[in-house]
Amino acid sequence: MTTHGTQRVATLALLAVLPGCLTNALWRDYAWPGPTPITTPLGESAVAFDGEVRASVPTQRHGVWWHGPNGDWYLVARDGDGADIATTLLDGVDFVTPRAVEIAAVRQFVNSELDRDDARVVLRGDVDHKAAVQRVDPSQLPRTTLDALAPAIAPAAATATTSAPPMPELLREAARRIHRLEPRWLAGTSAPTELVAYTLVGADHRTLLAPHEAEPAAELYRDAPLDQRLPLLRRASLLARLEHEGRTSFVRVRLDRLWLLAELHPSERGFTQTSAWHLQRRPRLRSLPPLADAVTFPAHLQLREVQWQRAWQPTWFDGSLLTRAALTPITLAADLVLGPQALGFFEWVTGGKLGPEPSRENGPGSR
């Protein structure tokens, strides 16, 4: 090779590794793709049993046991999927009576190892309307509270103005939940009912619209676990004005009850509440309270177990590699002509950006 040819090759090699070159950008972060997973179903089985669920107070910490003909199973609550509501109801509240539990579980095994253990738990029960919702005589309400519940400032008709005080965040959260409830259920009637207005009140039925009054522990009730939030929410109630059959009625719902009621779904026989759990053969806790002290509910379990076989096939062909190889002579020529700023020139002309492709992951958990 002549000296001139050697210099050209060296120049191309140097340009290819400089950060501002097209060739460097083309091959940056390239890696040969990993093996491809091949998953084959081996079979599945489904069984159903009638048994019982045993809950030990506090259920959020101790979990729930299933006891039936197929032995004992342990249910572990999943965070953020309604299990905190279910455990609170199982522990017992003054206006809800759980009656039965339905469990639909899927356990998936890959190469004989447990890969998934999800359970959907439906809690069925009854709600004592008189204990949950309190009717209020309007003659007992202060004038300021009646003014706050006037139809002129109904939530749907209220408009934001620069002079109006900001609505407390706790009232906004309570509003989201009361709108999940059927107004006729709040009124205790089957007639069509309209939710006209609502406001936060304290024990004396006086409005709590100032943020420091309505939110005595705002920084806690948002992030704290439900069992710590509910005692804080007992400090205030939501007072609502309802219109039905040409009449006006006022009802009061304590906020801790409202937080639970909003998670219940009416059914033909009371209510249902759905949550997500893990179904395990053995608990992860080191010690458990005696099951003899647990509260027992009739339960039905549907269990499906799926077996998979997963193998890993090496990648023998990569189209991205061939594409980059085909473009390399072009980018090298551009780098040789334009120098180490070829990439910047390309982006300026096209308005685009030549960057690395997203990394490809083929880990064992990818499906």
What are the φ and ψ backbone dihedral angles of 274, each rounded to 5 degrees? -110, 140
Q: What is the rounded CA–CA span in Å between residue 107 and residue 97?
A: 30
Question: What pLDDT was estimated at residue 210?
Answer: 52
Confidence of residue 190 (pLDDT cuts 50, 70, 90): confident
Nearest to 76 by CA among 279, 342, 336, 291: 279
Stretch among 94-98, 344-348, 353-357 having the lowest mean pLDDT:
353-357
Tell me the pLDDT tens digit for each residue of 19-62. Answer: 667 777 777 777 878 888 888 889 999 999 999 998 877 777 77
- Mean pLDDT for 288-303 is 79
- Mean pLDDT for 2-10 is 57
Q: What is the pTM of this model?
A: 0.69
What are the φ and ψ backbone dihedral angles of 34, each rounded to 5 degrees? -75, 180
Of all residues in the chain, the percent with pLDDT exceeding 90 is 23
Query: Taking the domains of the chain in order of start, what are their residue ranges?
Result: 3-35+316-350, 38-128+272-310, 134-261
pLDDT at position 96 over 80: yes
pLDDT at position 103 over 90: yes
Confidence of residue 229 (pLDDT cuts 50, 70, 90): confident
pLDDT at position 104 over 90: yes
pLDDT at position 362 over 80: no
State the DSSP code for 167.
Answer: P
pLDDT at position 158 over 60: no
Q: Is 80 left (phi over 0), alpha (psi -120 to 50) or beta?
A: left
Query: Within 10 A of 221 (CB to CB), how many other CB atoms are there?
Result: 23
- Mean pLDDT for 6-13 is 57
Q: Is 42 helix (H, G, I), strand (E, B) or coil?
A: strand
Find which of 74-78, 129-133, 357-361 is predicted with most confidence, using mean pLDDT. Answer: 129-133
Q: How far is CA 279 from CA 86, 121, 276, 302, in A?
A: 15, 10, 10, 11
What are the φ and ψ backbone dihedral angles of 71, each rounded to 5 degrees? 95, -165
Query: Within 10 A of 28 (CB to CB), how many other CB atoms are there?
Result: 12
